[in-house]
Amino acid sequence: MRDFIKTGVLVMFILLIFVIVFIILGHLKHEVSLLSRTELSSNDPTVRILYNRVKNKTDLRKAHLINENLTSDEIIKFVLDNIEQDDYEKKSYEAKKITCQVTKTIDFNTSDSKCNVAIIDNDVFMDYQMKFFNTTNELVFDDFEYKGLTCKNSGKKYYCLIEDFQDKVLGYSSLDKVYEQNDQVVLYEYYLQIDVSDNDRCLKYFDNEYCTNFDSEKRPYIDESIITKDGVLYAHIFKKNNDNYYLEQSFVVGDI
Task: Give the pLDDT confidence score for residue 20 in this predicted structure.
Answer: 58
pLDDT tens for residues 57-98?
998 999 999 999 999 999 999 999 999 999 999 999 999 989
Q: How far, in Å, CA of 66 to CA of 56, rounded?
A: 20
Residue 250 DSSP SS3: strand
Closest of 4, 158, 7 to residue 80, by C-alpha: 158
Taking the C-alpha atoms of residue 68 and residue 70, their distance in angstroms, rounded to an integer, is: 6
207 to each of 173, 201, 203, 212, how far by Cα in Å?
A: 20, 11, 6, 9
pLDDT band of 101, cuts 50, 70, 90? very high
Indicate the pairing of strand 99-101 with strand 144-146: unpaired
What pLDDT, in 10s, does the model give residues 220-245? Answer: 999 999 999 999 999 999 999 988 99
Q: What's the pLDDT score for residue 30? A: 37
Q: Does domain 40-54+167-252 have CATH number 3.30.160?
A: no
End-to-end CA distance of the chain: 50
Give the chain's mean pLDDT.
89
Confidence of residue 28 (pLDDT cuts 50, 70, 90): very low
Q: What is the pLDDT of residue 3?
A: 55
- The larger pLDDT score, comparing residue 200 to residue 18, is at 200
CA distances to 58, 70, 218, 248 from 235, in Å:
15, 17, 29, 11
203-212 pLDDT, tens digit each: 999 999 999 9
Q: Which of 22-26, 105-109, 207-211 has the weakest average pLDDT?
A: 22-26
Per-residue confidence (pLDDT) for residue 25, from 0 to 100: 42
Q: How would you label 94-124 residue by residue, b for 16+ Cβ within 10 Å and e otherwise? A: ebeeeebebeeebbbebeeeebebbbbebeb
pTM over 0.75: yes
Query: What are 178's strand-pairing partners?
Result: 187
On the 0-12 / 13-18 / 19+ scale of CB atoms within 10 A, 126 is middle
Rounded distance between C-alpha atoms, residue 56 and residue 225, angstroms: 15
> What pLDDT score was predicted for residue 32?
37
Q: What HEC string does 164-201 produce?
A: CCCCCEEEEEEEEEEEEECCEEEEEEEEEEEECCCHHH
Where do the domains of the chain lie?
Answer: 40-54+167-252, 69-162
* 157: exposed, middle or buried (Cβ count in 10 Å: 0-12, 13-18, 19+): buried
12 burial class (0-12, 13-18, 19+ CB within 10 angstroms)? exposed
